[in-house]
Chains A and B, each alone.
Chain A
Amino acid sequence: MIHFVLLVSRQGKVRLTKWYSPYAQKERSKVIRELSGVILNRGPKLCNFVEWRGYKVVYKRYASLYFCMCIDQEDNELEVLEIIHHYVEILDRYFGSVCELDLIFNFHKAYYILDELLIAGELQESSKKTVARIISAQDQLVEAAKEEASSISNIIAQATK
């Protein structure tokens, strides 16, 4: 299973963290510090796997961002690389050629998408289209609620004029 997902920028800034196994807050920052130290320092031609505390961390760099997933020893590393790529492709379609800034200002969206892809550290959906469809359906629900709210506040505003 995937124990956690980590997005770190080349400068070591954390852009997304998702923990599927329990880690206390202190451990989390320690893990992040330790791993970004190891991963950011690896050369470009090396393999995408790092052995770490009896687990394996599969990482891949896309532009300035490192996507990392921590898995068990017996898991399929190559598949996890494929999952990372799957996630990136969905992000790319959603944001329209995604960049780091998209993920900073819309970090919650990145989380929503991840939640449609992974639950309990396991893959949930292999179709990019399905994920996109579910996300946009939920976004529409939010928009609809917003419009309703603003129309109400308009009515109130007009009434109190």
Chain B
Amino acid sequence: MNPFSSGTRLSDMIRAIRASKTAAEERAVVRKECAAIRASINENDQDYRHRDLAKLMFIHMLGYPTHFGQMECLKLIASPGFPEKRIGYLGLMLLLDERQEVLMLVTNSLKQDMNHTNQYIVGLALCALGNICSAEMARDLAPEVERLLQFRDPNIRKKAALCAIRIIRKVPDLSENFINPGAALLKEKHHGVLITGVHLCTEICSVSSEALEYFRKKCTEGLVRTLRDIANSPYSPEYDVAGITDPFLHIRLLKLLRVLGQGDAEASDCMNDILAQVASKTESNKNAGNAILYECVQTIMSIEENGGLRVLAINILGKFLSNRDNNIRYVALNMLMRALTVDSQAVQRHRATILECVKDSDASIQKRALELIYLLVNENNVKPLAKDLIEYLEVSDEDFKGDLTAKICSIVEKFAPEKIWYIDQMLKVLSEAGTYVKEDVWHALIVVITNAPDLHGYAVRALYRALHTSSEQETLVRVAIWCIGEYADLLVNNAGMLEVEDPITVTESDAVDIVEIAIKHHTSDVTTKAMALIALLKISSRFPSCSERVKSIIGQNKGSFVLELQQRSLEFSSVIQKHQNIRSSLVERMPVLDEATFSGRRAGSLPASVPTSGKSSLGIPNGVAKAAAAPLVDLLDLSSDDTPAPTSSSNNFLQDLLGVDLTQPSAQPVSGTMQPSQAGADILLDLLSIGTPAPVQNGSTNGDLLSMQDNNTPLASLDTISSTSPTAPSSMMDLLDGFGPTPPKIEDKGPAYPSIVAFESSSLKIEFNLAKQPETPQTTDIEAKFTNLTPNVYTDFLFQAAVPKFLQLHLDPASSNSLPANGSIKQTMRVTNSQQGKKPIVMRMRVGYKINGKDVLEEGQINNFPRGL
């Protein structure tokens, strides 16, 4: 040891850290070491640089910050000796990741080392590149890697192949450079090179369909031969794993064959024999053999149909499934999930075994099996499966109950053959695992119950019974209370008794009792208590004899700290006390809840009033504002050639719109403006139901505003500000007018302009109708009419236009994107000329469309606008 050294050795530091008894002690040791390392870094101590870095790596592994050592890695990498480089590269890979800027500094060193005469240094550089390279480095160093794929030493070639994989993952475009070198690697004998080469080709195939085609044509046979050789090869100690020669190579080859065979009958045919051989000959008593079989089954399932092979594969899975090793069963379940799409009958055969797996003690297996069972359920087997699953619910782990409950509820709902069965099953789930039942699920149950008048009595009695046995399940309590409130009379007089039922005797006060218990139970939350209050009120009207008692129970909540409960308590008390005469009509039975509305709402669509009001052409599933914002942004993007798209404001715009509207007098032709809050929503919905053009128009004015403010000329911006206030409401009016079949009459308002033929070719004619609004003299409304002059239909029709800087252009969407034969479509746009009077409007345009799937593009310049626009 060097007598001048001040620091401790690496092993001493590790010992000191291990000797620390508390976390604080450890921190102290690390702090001291870090201080010493920093000092040594500052002194630029060369002799101890690599030891410092080794220490830092250990400290890093313990989770302490080590960023100050990053530059040391670079210095070590740049030093000439192998030992320094080796530790430097290791530090680089450990302390940095691809997102750090420092990494850019290392590109040059990497390049130099990849050209080094010492092959081990080349290897170090390749390893580092493969593990942490970023997209930029990939682009810079791809040529070096390509060159090293032909290096004389196979150990470098295999490293280069893996680097190429990383490069392709980062920059898929570079894959074409590696197609030929990759194909060359497939002919190698060295296993390492072969494994990495096969993998490289698989990776290339996944990003480039051309390459896939190439490999399929050129390499399939060779790969089949390689797999045959390796599968038939005699014992070779170097590659032997549990009696199989190189299972890793087997697996890589099977993977690539899967990619090549998928969707190609010829290639699939070529590999049938060898797949059959691997599937039937591979030993299945060790993990290595099973790994190969597993991969082989996947390949058989993915390539083109061959009946015999499929049977073989399914049999292997059946054997896997009955294996005692959990790992094997797990992969079998995994594989069956994928096989389901190929051959669901075969999977159904294993249903019983899979159901057993749901009850396994291993959470991973349980989860897989449950998902698989969920996919296997259909109308025919739902009853026994649901019965089994619900029985299992009683004994399952707490962690698993959530998943299991959700799945059971879902299948019971989806496949229930009759309502009574559904109600029964849900009751069982609620009493077993009510806490895990989601809100919408128990709501759905109530909806179903109200919709089955002949089951009201049955349901309420069953719930009453269940409540006695499992009163701690919150959701069960809620459903039960709701039903007791509604159907208390049926509970007491045993009305509508079904044959399957045992009669029970419930007195009126029993019914009150059970609700009282619920309201006083310590686990009941506000929702439950609130529901219980309503139930009590309803009971008081159904059973006048209990009225007094109900009143006193309700009265107990008058002092509740929860506003909701307090209010209900006070109001209900006064209903019972002072409004005897109207009480019974107040608390009549709930009208039947509409199942369609409920399920629609559950699916996340708009409230019921919307779909009925004409077709909602947007077809938005979720939330009005959000949906409207999305197309708006798109449109603004599309129409703005040099306008910044106001993404953030687009959300507000709808609210603005509402705000504007609500302040307007109700003279507008909108239904329901009488109730202001409602009206807002209605207008919004109506707007949406008109279709896209409506919001767009408004969106474009919005865009106008913003773009104008961008304009530097003070005059122009002043102009817009003064002109906006009148425009906004007027465009609102237009918008609302848009309901009617008649388009807004723009021409009436401004001076008339002759329409112009903007463009004409042998196939297409474009005419512009021009108009101006008197309030905004700078703005010209253009209605473009596109006429198809041929007997062919144009599809995917798109009109694009560009204008010089002094103009602002906004395009609305065209009335259709397909032009019928000899027909025409329209599109409106708006041009604002900030240099009006000085410069005329000019426009460059491009039209793209498809005739019989063939792209056509037409371009032109329009300068025949009338002067002074």
Cβ-closest chain B residue relative to A138:
B120
- A108-B57, A127-B238 given as contacts; is B162 within 8 A of A50 (CB)? no
The answer, among B83, B155, B166, for a CB contact under 8 Å with A141, is B83
In this assembly, does A96 line the interface, its C-beta being within 8 Å of a C-beta of chain B? no
Which among B92-100, B452-460, B469-477, B821-829 touches the partner chain? B92-100
- A81-B291, A82-B248, A124-B192 given as contacts; is B159 within 8 A of A119 (CB)? yes
The answer, among B14, B127, B329, for a CB contact under 8 Å with A119, is B127
Q: How many Å from the CB of A10 to the closest CB on chain B?
A: 15
The answer, among A45, A82, A123, for a CB contact under 8 Å with B291, is A82
In this assembly, does B365 line the interface, its C-beta being within 8 Å of a C-beta of chain A? yes
Interface string of B78-99 (1 = CB under 8 A from A): 0001110011001001100111
- What separation, in Å, do the CA atoms of A112 and B276 have in the docked complex? 40
Residues of A within 8 A of B130 (CB): 119-120
Residues of B within 8 A of A51 (CB): 364, 367
Give residues of chain A (122-137) contacting chain B, Cβ–Cβ below 8 Å: 122-130, 134, 137
- What separation, in Å, do the CA atoms of A138 and B84 have in the docked complex? 12
Q: How many Å from the CB of A9 to the closest CB on chain B?
A: 12
The answer, among B81, B127, B239, for a CB contact under 8 Å with A127, is B239
Q: How many Å from the CB of B292 to the closest CB on chain A?
A: 8
The answer, among A23, A128, A138, for a CB contact under 8 Å with B82, is A138
- What separation, in Å, do the CA atoms of A160 and B398 have in the docked complex? 76
Q: How many Å from the CB of A81 to the closest CB on chain B?
A: 6
- What separation, in Å, do the CA atoms of A105 and B298 have in the docked complex? 42
In this assembly, does A145 line the interface, its C-beta being within 8 Å of a C-beta of chain B? yes
Contact in complex: B94, A111 (CB < 8 Å): yes
Q: How many Å from the CB of A70 to the closest CB on chain B?
A: 14
Residues of B within 8 A of A49 (CB): 327, 330, 364
- A76-B295, A77-B331, A130-B192 given as contacts; is B162 within 8 A of A119 (CB)? yes
In this assembly, does A83 line the interface, its C-beta being within 8 Å of a C-beta of chain B? yes
- What separation, in Å, do the CA atoms of A107 and B123 have in the docked complex? 20
Contact in complex: A137, B120 (CB < 8 Å): yes
In this assembly, does B538 line the interface, its C-beta being within 8 Å of a C-beta of chain A? no
Give residues of chain B (231-247) contacting chain A, Cβ–Cβ below 8 Å: 238-239, 241, 246-247
- What separation, in Å, do the CA atoms of A145 and B120 have in the docked complex? 14
Contact in complex: B155, A47 (CB < 8 Å): no
Cβ-closest chain A residue relative to B3:
A157
- What separation, in Å, do the CA atoms of A19 and B98 have in the docked complex? 11
Residues of A within 8 A of B81 (CB): 145
Give residues of chain A (73-112) contacting chain B, Cβ–Cβ below 8 Å: 76-79, 81-83, 85-86, 104-105, 107-108, 111-112
In this assembly, does B148 line the interface, its C-beta being within 8 Å of a C-beta of chain A? no
Contact in complex: A142, B83 (CB < 8 Å): yes
- A76-B291, A107-B58 given as contacts; is B196 within 8 A of A124 (CB)? yes
Contact in complex: B192, A127 (CB < 8 Å): yes
Cβ-closest chain A residue relative to B154:
A130
From DSSP, what is the main secondary structure of chain B's interface residues? helix
Residues of B within 8 A of A120 (CB): 130-131, 162-163, 165-166, 169
Give residues of chain B (394-427) contacting chain A, Cβ–Cβ below 8 Å: none
Contact in complex: B361, A124 (CB < 8 Å): no
Q: Which of A17, A111, A129 has the most CB of B within 10 A?
A: A111
- What separation, in Å, do the CA atoms of A98 and B604 have in the docked complex? 58
In this assembly, does A14 line the interface, its C-beta being within 8 Å of a C-beta of chain B? yes
Contact in complex: A105, B362 (CB < 8 Å): no
Residues of A within 8 A of B191 (CB): 125-127
- What separation, in Å, do the CA atoms of A126 and B244 have in the docked complex? 12
Contact in complex: A124, B330 (CB < 8 Å): no
In this assembly, does B227 line the interface, its C-beta being within 8 Å of a C-beta of chain A? no
Contact in complex: A47, B248 (CB < 8 Å): no
- What separation, in Å, do the CA atoms of A124 and B90 have in the docked complex? 17
Give residues of chain B (47-67) contacting chain A, Cβ–Cβ below 8 Å: 54, 57-58, 61-63, 65
In this assembly, does B216 line the interface, its C-beta being within 8 Å of a C-beta of chain A? no
Give residues of chain A (36-92) contacting chain B, Cβ–Cβ below 8 Å: 43, 45-51, 76-79, 81-83, 85-86
Residues of B within 8 A of A108 (CB): 54, 57, 87, 90
In this assembly, does B76 line the interface, its C-beta being within 8 Å of a C-beta of chain A? no
In this assembly, does B585 line the interface, its C-beta being within 8 Å of a C-beta of chain A? no
- What separation, in Å, do the CA atoms of A107 and B83 have in the docked complex? 16
Contact in complex: B163, A119 (CB < 8 Å): yes
In this assembly, does B288 line the interface, its C-beta being within 8 Å of a C-beta of chain A? yes
The answer, among B99, B155, B328, for a CB contact under 8 Å with A130, is B155
- A76-B295, A120-B165 given as contacts; is B14 within 8 A of A82 (CB)? no
Contact in complex: B155, A82 (CB < 8 Å): no
Give residues of chain B (699-735) contacting chain A, Cβ–Cβ below 8 Å: none
- What separation, in Å, do the CA atoms of A120 and B134 have in the docked complex? 12
In this assembly, does A24 line the interface, its C-beta being within 8 Å of a C-beta of chain B? yes
Contact in complex: A125, B239 (CB < 8 Å): no
Contact in complex: B163, A126 (CB < 8 Å): no
In this assembly, does B282 line the interface, its C-beta being within 8 Å of a C-beta of chain A? no
Residues of B within 8 A of A153 (CB): 2
In this assembly, does B199 line the interface, its C-beta being within 8 Å of a C-beta of chain A? yes
- A126-B191, A138-B86, A142-B82 given as contacts; is B241 within 8 A of A82 (CB)? yes
Contact in complex: A105, B14 (CB < 8 Å): yes
Given contacts A17-B61, A115-B131, A145-B83, 8 further A-B contacts (CB under 8 A): A16-B61, A43-B361, A47-B327, A48-B326, A107-B61, A119-B130, A122-B165, A126-B248
What 10 pairs across the A-B complex have the smallest Cβ distances? A78-B291, A47-B326, A119-B130, A120-B166, A119-B162, A46-B362, A120-B130, A126-B248, A125-B192, A142-B83
11 contacts between A and B (CB under 8 A): A22-B98, A47-B362, A77-B331, A83-B248, A105-B11, A111-B94, A115-B131, A120-B131, A120-B166, A126-B192, A130-B155
